[in-house]
Amino acid sequence: MAFEIKEGTFSLFNNNNKEAGDNKPAYTGKGKYNGEEFAVAVWENETKSGDVYFSGTIKEPYVAEKRFDNIKREEEEEEDELPF
């Protein structure tokens, strides 16, 4: 059974692709609220006095477009434009 996010919660995971000095989030994950899934990204920051704090974003989940589908749609559109 696949992991399912419960309503009103989110899960974060360490971003293994983050490198020192880059702008990638330290943690990424998913959540669910009002039946809608969302993506979460969290950055670890430090104040001038040295206190650590976290900031983040909540967005609609990223859905990668399939390249094959895009090519197929373009071909269909070209076919529709033919005069015969």
Identify which has the larger pLDDT, 74 or 3: 3
Q: Hey, what amino acid is at 53? A: Y
Residue 35's Cβ-side half-sphere holds a number of Cα atoms within 13 Å equal to 0
pLDDT of 71: 56
Is the pTM of the predicted complex or chain greater than 0.85?
no
Residue 78 phi, psi (nearest 5)? -65, -40
pLDDT tens column, 9-68: 999 999 999 998 899 999 999 999 999 999 999 999 999 999 999 999 999 988 877 666
Q: Decide if 38 contacts 62 (C-beta within 8 A).
A: no
pLDDT of 63: 80
Q: Decide if 42 contacts 54 (C-beta within 8 A).
A: yes
d(CA 65, CA 34): 25
Residue 69 has pLDDT above 70, yes or no: no
Q: Hey, what amino acid is at 78? A: E
pLDDT of 16: 94
